[in-house]
A and B are shown apart, each in its own frame.
Chain A
Amino acid sequence: MKQFLSFVRKEFYHVFRDKKTLLMLFGLPIVQIVLFGFALTNEIKNAKIVICDYAKDEATQQIINKIEASQNFDIQETLLSHQQIEEAFKAGNIKLAIIFPANFNKDLSHLHQAQIQIIADASDPNTANTLTNYASAIIMDYQQGLMKNNVVPFRIVPEIRMLYNPELKGATNFVPGVMALVLMLVCVMMTSVSIVREKENGTMEVLLVSPFNPFLVIIAKAIPYLLLSIINLAVILILSVTLLDMPINGSILLLFAESILLIITALSLGLLISNVTQSQQAAMLISMMGMLVPTLLFTGFMFPIENMPVPLQVISNIVPAKWYYIMVKSIMIKGLGFAAIWKETLILLATTCLLLFISLKTFKNRLG
């Protein structure tokens, strides 16, 4: 036991004395959360739009006020004529134009029907789509306000509810993804590199010629990274709750338990990589390419797995991060308990056992 503890202490020395590793260990998750949180979001804020109001009446003024109040839009100018609109689009940053015809209010109050023209710059179809949806929502909202006063019979109004994420915030989708990514990347890379470093420096040779059990070497190596990853996880969660208003609806304990399971999966994967590589660069490269790309592609937080061709959907099943992502979303956002995610837990557990078995089998008790 004393042997083991002194080994763990040695590993902590390695981690804390290597400033670069330390920076990567704690810098990476923070940078990723901030990056994904603010830069890479599919919400559109402060889109520049123009408004052309021929009516200039009470109704249009109210709608324009609502648009102005919205965070999504930033009204650049109010144009006087139709011709200017195209010029404004050509001039650059205008994403959307809203045109109110003359007699808007009159039509609305007498005919119970009025028209608004919305023109979007569809050179970026996603943005255009999103922006027109935002605009329609504002107009619908105004219309509903009117309806309280004027009862119009037999009108079906669809009520749409966005479950779990009513504000359609991007963060809810990517925070679990980033958690999976960071845990996978950090744990796999750190363990594989630190074991291969012992091989490269020749210290493994000395350790092998000692009564020390090689399996203990591996476990001793894993413990610091397990602890550091848990700290990392806490940092990510605090950042996403405070900075990105991410909810944690379910049990935090369950969340940590599932995360520790993923960390152990990653550690065994790192061990496997260290068994088959001889240099730190190779270990780093395999962990990076082998973890980053599949985790980004097949976890489902960037590209929906349902939209992929069947072969890729099948491949996605072997990516541990995918199951973790599903579980974290269930716990954090849907607030579900263990009963809802036992299947995913079981799959991850089986993967871990398999990886651990293979890596312990392939662990070489001798050189070469």
Chain B
Amino acid sequence: MKDVVLNNIVKTYNKGKVKAVNDVSFTVNKGELFGLIGPDGAGKTSIFRILTTLLLPDSGTASVKGFDVIKDYKNIRSSVGYMPGKFSLYQDLTVEENLNFFASVFNTTIQDNYDLIKDIYVQIEPFKDRRAGKLSGGMKQKLALCCALIHRPTVLFLDEPTTGVDTVSRKEFWEMLKSLKQQGITILVSTPYMDEATLCERIALMQNGEIMSIDTPKNIINQFPENLFAIKANDMGKLLQDLRKNHEIKTCNAFGEFHHITINSGEPIIENRKFKISNIEKMLIESGHKELVIKEITPTIEDCFIRLMDQSIDNG
């Protein structure tokens, strides 16, 4: 049973000038935690809005729980939970008033579905008389999640729920999503943070309105075809310049503490690779780099994303 189905969805803005979603197709299984991963402007929000019946696609079909997003929009609206990217509750209403209001909008009460939101609500309950506008970013997101869950939705759409939230709250938020998944709720979540991708069951990597890859995070990492090295020295700026000048090096990207590189090895013969790495190390020492560290690492989702992005640029 597929809870969410998209077939060749296209969405443009400004009378076709801006292509936000370009021929996107994917499915989300029942009870799955599915992530749309991509930077701002990748088309994530447009897909969410099409699925929540807020926008009409230019072409293609989509359905949620078997309901068509155009014809049966009323059925979708009453059965899904939606948390938009921007904090969309009433800032001048208190936590409790917001929750009560959304409960009654969905013809239910807090008591009826308290078991579902209990774990989340207890964290914000001490502040229930505080106005929503006065809450911290993490608290706001918890409240918004409570409001989106209050009617026990079967599919939950979370558009960048962790953007602008501190690391601790982000972690807590993903824990909550995991426990919601246990309750059988299908969750579609989007995030620009690549490190959160591994927390999803399956992910779609998006860029410029197109999906570059859909798979489990593990498979996507395993599909990374080359060996990846992390490299560090005292002058990281100069190191990056030198590495990019080097013909042995295929790609080089700055990744915080380390630069990640792949090499033009032709074929991945271990001896050959070791030889090339030691060559590179020698050259770097010659050009005056100190405290040099080179190590082989497992690629992250971000490495995969950058590789796919470069590929599509080369192809396009």
Contacts and interface: CB of A to CB of B under 8 A. Distances in A.
Interface of A: 2-3, 6-7, 10, 13-14, 17-18, 201-203, 205-212, 365-368
A211 B87 contact: no
A208 B106 CA distance: 11
27 contacts: A2-B104, A3-B104, A3-B107, A6-B101, A6-B104, A6-B105, A7-B104, A13-B90, A13-B92, A14-B93, A17-B92, A201-B90, A202-B87, A202-B88, A205-B54, A205-B88, A206-B83, A208-B53, A208-B77, A210-B102, A211-B78, A212-B106, A366-B53, A366-B54, A366-B55, A367-B54, A368-B13
B105 A13 contact: no
Contacts of A209: 52-54, 77, 80, 82
B134 interface: no
Contacts of B90: 10, 13-14, 201, 203
B97 interface: yes
B54 A211 contact: no
B91 A10 contact: no
Contact of A206 (B55, B84, B107): B84
A222 B100 CA distance: 21
A2 B82 CA distance: 22
A366 B46 CA distance: 13
B106 A210 contact: yes
Nearest to B147: A206
Contacts of B102: 206, 210
Contacts of B97: 10, 13
A206 B78 CA distance: 11
A17 B73 CA distance: 35
Contacts of B53: 208-209, 366
Contact of B101 (A10, A17, A18): A10
Contacts of A3: 104-105, 107
Contact of B107 (A208, A211, A365): A211
B89 interface: yes
A203 B147 CA distance: 12
Contact of B106 (A13, A14, A211): A211
B49 interface: yes
A101 to B, nearest CB: 75
Nearest to A9: B101
Contacts of A211: 74, 77-78, 105-107
Contacts of B54: 205, 208-209, 366-367
A3 B108 CA distance: 9
A367 B55 contact: yes
Interface of B: 13, 49, 52-56, 73-74, 77-78, 80, 82-84, 86-93, 97, 100-102, 104-107, 147-148
B245 to A, nearest CB: 47
A366 B50 CA distance: 10
Interface of A is mostly: helix
A202 B88 CA distance: 5
Nearest to A364: B54
Given A206-B82, A212-B105, A18 B92 contact: yes
Contacts of A210: 77-78, 102, 105-106
Nearest to B70: A366
Given A13-B93, A209-B52, A6 B100 contact: yes
B92 A207 contact: no
Given A13-B92, A209-B80, A7 B52 contact: no
Nearest to A213: B74
Contacts of A14: 90, 92-93
Contacts of B52: 209
B202 to A, nearest CB: 24
A206 B104 contact: no
Given A203-B90, A212-B105, 8 more contacts: A3-B107, A13-B97, A14-B92, A205-B84, A208-B54, A208-B77, A209-B54, A210-B78
A184 B49 CA distance: 36
Nearest to A211: B78
A3 B101 CA distance: 8
A207 B105 contact: yes
Nearest to A17: B92
A201 B88 contact: yes
Contacts of A203: 88-90
A210 B87 CA distance: 17
Contacts of A10: 90, 93, 97, 101
Nearest to A5: B104
A305 to B, nearest CB: 43
Nearest to B107: A3
Given A208-B77, A211-B74, A211-B77, A201 B91 contact: yes
Lowest 7 CB-CB distances: which A-B pairs, in order?
A202-B88, A211-B78, A6-B104, A209-B82, A202-B86, A367-B54, A17-B92
A201 B55 CA distance: 18
Contacts of B147: 206
Nearest to B148: A206
Nearest to A366: B54
A202 B91 CA distance: 11
A18 B89 CA distance: 16
Contacts of A208: 53-54, 77
A14 B132 CA distance: 13
A274 to B, nearest CB: 17
Nearest to B131: A17
Contacts of B84: 202, 205-206
B294 to A, nearest CB: 48
A176 to B, nearest CB: 35
Nearest to A367: B54
Most B CB contacts (10 A, CB to CB) among A18, A203, A205, A209 go to: A209
A368 B49 CA distance: 11
Nearest to B88: A202
Contacts of A206: 82-84, 88-89, 102, 147-148
Contact of A7 (B55, B88, B92, B105): B105
